[in-house]
Copies of this chain bind each other. A is one copy, B any other.
Amino acid sequence: MNDFSAAQRSRVTMLDVAEHAKVSKASVSRFIGDDRALLSDAIAQRIERAIAELGYRPNQMARGLKRGRTRLIGMLVADIRNPYSIAVMHGVETACRQHGYSLVVCNTDRDDEQERQHLALLRSYNIEGLIVNTLGHHRDELQELHREMPLVLVDRKVEHLESDMVGLDNPQAVDLALNHLEERGYRDVLLVTEPFDGTSSRIERVNRFKAQIAQRPALSGTSIETGSELTAHLKTFLDTPGTGPKALFCANGIAALASTHALRELQCNLFEDVGLIALDDLDWYPLVGSGITALAQPTQEIGASAFECLLKRLRGDDGPLRTIDFPARLIVRGSTHGVLR
């Protein structure tokens, strides 16, 4: 029997340091905290030595208990295997670390029950703030949590939940895509999106798409969702004589993956038979066919910005709700080389 369970006991505590340095716990506490200025050099040095000799590490749990400050930020992610989420999370984590916070990430795997459990969990660990990148199907619990701590939504709004929000300027991104496609001579555009499922960013993209199509006489457009029938739908789109050269507009990286798969199944000549532009910029886009044209999201900035929002609130900012929309950046590759004749 190993004694990892007893290991906790053997850890050196503040009292050990105090005794070793022949001072009181309070002094050690001051040394650890932000009150080091109040200490005489002599005592400060004694404590410093004692800490070094004993290898003392303050127990964050205990600190958190007492001060109500755990220096922990929680992040709820719908799908940790989505590269977008990872990239944003990386931005959040970096910003956290720079400000002395740590990040606890909870992946819900798009499961409502897991979302609920994770919310309870994060709360039980006294996190100081929450970053949410899920559907938020538990409005009430989110609401309740939001009364206890600042909250910022990433990419997706949650209905009837008033909070700061960081994401993409979806209308701008859609316009950028359509401008590019139109300029390159495409006329018949098919938007491919994941099922809405209440995801605000997806809805915004499709809505803007429809609105823009209605306003652009040169273009015609329809939209479909990914799923088991994607290939069949794509086939129909490709086979139906349209108003001109055809192109796909994939509303995110997952849709781009699925669409490219489907195009290959259909023996499509990538990308001669049909153009393709995709939101997100994944590292394999350049490798497929002649390369996939992308609308890159500044994921690092989105993540950092989300954390900074939180930090401001933690520091007492009580200003009006903030909504930060970052612009997408067009990266042209072969998939929209256009109509060459």
- Residue ranges of A at the interface with B (Cβ–Cβ < 8 Å): 1-2, 4-5, 7-11, 55, 57-62, 64-65, 68-70, 80-81, 86-87, 89-90, 93-94, 97, 102-107, 109, 114, 117, 120-121, 123-126, 128-129, 144, 147-150, 257, 260-261, 264, 282-284, 286-288, 313-314, 316-318
Contact = CB atoms under 8 A, between A and B. Distances in A.
A117 B97 CA distance: 10
B80 A86 contact: yes
A317 B80 contact: no
A326 B81 CA distance: 22
B264 A313 contact: no
Contacts of A104: 102, 104
A123 B284 contact: no
Contact of A107 (B90, B261, B314): B90
Given A1-B318, A90-B80, A124-B60, A68 B288 contact: no
A29 to B, nearest CB: 15
29 contacts: A1-B316, A2-B313, A4-B128, A4-B149, A4-B150, A5-B314, A10-B148, A11-B148, A55-B144, A57-B124, A60-B121, A60-B124, A60-B125, A60-B126, A61-B64, A61-B65, A61-B126, A62-B65, A80-B93, A90-B107, A94-B109, A97-B117, A257-B284, A257-B287, A260-B287, A261-B287, A264-B287, A284-B284, A284-B288
A59 B124 contact: yes
A4 B65 contact: no
A161 to B, nearest CB: 16
A129 to B, nearest CB: 8
B313 A4 contact: yes
B89 A80 contact: yes
A99 B93 CA distance: 26
A4 to B, nearest CB: 6
Nearest to A67: B8
Given A57-B123, A284-B287, 6 more contacts: A9-B68, A55-B144, A59-B126, A61-B65, A61-B70, A260-B287
A125 B316 contact: no
Contact of A61 (B4, B102, B125, B313): B125
A81 to B, nearest CB: 6
Contacts of A313: 2, 4
